[in-house]
Structure 1
Amino acid sequence: MKKIVSILILTSLSAFTWAQLPDVYEPMSRPSSGRVDSSSTTTNSTRTSSAPASFEDRSFAQRLVYGGNLQLSFGSFTVIEVSPRVGYRITEDLIGGLGANFMYIRYGENFFYNGSPSLDYTIWGGNTFASYSLPFGLPLAVQGEYELLNFEVFNPTTFEEERQWVPALRFGGGYFQPINNRGGGVYFVALYDFLWDQDVSFNRRSPWTLRASFFF
């Protein structure tokens, strides 16, 4: 397989949405009737029950976040990537989850040199990841992920390209700018692959991956 520089842009979408409802003023009952305004009481009770609970009281579904990567590029060099992810908010600062990877890459004719044929590659796999935002208002975050990708690797013994499962174990950190209290924000991180192999790794030029990711 030809050398490929892969900078995966992770675009994650958090699915938590709810509104903080204001306090409701409940008028006093009229002394002449001695009756309580039941409609006001009912409205107040309904709105109070719908207010968001503390983080510890949130259900499993309320802690789930959704997102992934989507990359589209067309022309002499075509890239189509769809990599969904599902995460779980373990704490207010820590998210862990699973993801899937699919990528189609095509080099058009004459891409490498005049007369070179077109080349097509299909990559798939999965990953598990974790992201931790540092407390105390620091604009920093650390990230880690383990990934398994299946793609064609050149075999020097048979002089043929064969499909293999290639692992990657990345850790790193960088800048984090939160945009809401649901775990959303913008990440700019550098990740180092501790299993990097120049002969088989997806990014054969360097063990480093620079990534910009978005959580909403």
Structure 2
Amino acid sequence: MRAILLLLSSFLLATSINAQQVENEEKQSNWKDKLVLDGNLALRFGTPTLIGGNPQIGYRITDKIVAGAGYSYFLSSTRIGSVRFNDKLHGPTAFTRVLVTDNLFARADYQSLMYVFDSASDAPPQTFGRDRLFLGGGYRYPLGDRVNFTGGLFLDVLDPVARPVFRAGVEAGFGRW
């Protein structure tokens, strides 16, 4: 009887040690798989011309929640009559995205942006800051294991006269999303 108890205890101890080792290996090897690339790129040529982007990197906290940060930088140029206006917008961003279903998501984006308006006239550039909080949601369509096409509708709740903004893009993750 004593030998059976000793054998059973040894088996249970070995099983729990092995389970702990597998759990620790998963925690150590999967942090890179939880990184997600996001953001957007803008290119428009003509009047106005717009060049810029908003690269973001996020971390998948759970299978349904991603939070991250990035930086926005956009340059635009337009001509009104004989005067050319060159504008710059830049600043840090933070976001949280929650999967409501397999393909529907809710998202919040906070942006603290600096606007610099400069004309070719003798007037000095005008600079001002503005905070924006976009709330909304959308649909994601998987293009593979680690890439999704996304589209959504967002509203800046800090702007009393804001119009809804439609965004579409491709997101890529180092791991599955």
Q: In the TM superposition, what is the alpha-carbon distance from 1:101 to its structure 2 partner?
A: 0.7
Checking the alignment, whether the CA contact within 8 Å between 1:133 and 1:176 is kept in structure 2 is no
| Aligned-pair identity (%) | 25
CA distance 1:171–1:58, change in 2 (3 Å):
farther
How many corresponding residue pairs? 143
Aligned equivalent of 1:68: 39
Q: In the TM superposition, what is the alpha-carbon distance from 1:208 to its structure 2 partner?
A: 1.5
Checking the alignment, whether the CA contact within 8 Å between 1:105 and 1:121 is kept in structure 2 is yes
Checking the alignment, whether the CA contact within 8 Å between 2:39 and 2:171 is kept in structure 1 is no
Aligned equivalent of 1:148: 112
CA distance 1:197–1:149, change in 2 (3 Å):
farther
Which runs of 5 or more residues in structure 1 are unaligned?
Answer: 1-52, 154-159, 199-205
Within the candidate set 157, 163, 166, 1:207 is matched to 163
Q: In the TM superposition, what is the alpha-carbon distance from 1:58 to its structure 2 partner?
A: 4.2
Query: For residues 175 and 67 of structure 1, what CA distance do their matches in structure 2 show?
Result: 15
Aligned equivalent of 1:175: 139
Query: For residues 100 and 47 of structure 2, what CA distance do their matches in structure 1 show?
Result: 42
Aligned equivalent of 2:153: 190
Checking the alignment, whether the CA contact within 8 Å between 2:58 and 2:66 is kept in structure 1 is yes
Query: For residues 172 and 73 of structure 1, what CA distance do their matches in structure 2 show?
Result: 25
Aligned equivalent of 2:85: 119
Q: Secondary structure at the match of 1:118?
A: strand
More helix by share: 2
State yes or no: 1:59 paired with 2:30. yes
Query: For residues 64 and 79 of structure 1, what CA distance do their matches in structure 2 show?
Result: 29
Could you tell me which amino acid in structure 1 is paired with residue 71 of structure 2? A
Checking the alignment, whether the CA contact within 8 Å between 1:71 and 1:80 is kept in structure 2 is yes
Question: Structure 1-normalised TM-score?
Answer: 0.58
CA distance 1:149–1:64, change in 2 (3 Å):
same
Which runs of 5 or more residues in structure 2 are unaligned?
Answer: 1-24, 118-123, 173-177
Q: Deviations over 1:91-145 (max 9, x none)?
A: 122211001011100003xxx4xx341111111111001112223x4x3111111
Query: Aligned Cα RMSD in Å?
Result: 2.5
State yes or no: 1:105 paired with 2:76. yes
State yes or no: 1:132 paired with 2:98. yes
Equivalence map 1:29-108=2 (5 Å): 58-108=29-79
Which structure exhibits the higher relative contact order, with contacts defined as CA atoms closer than 8 Å and separated by 6 or more residues?
A: 1
Q: Secondary structure at the match of 2:54?
A: strand
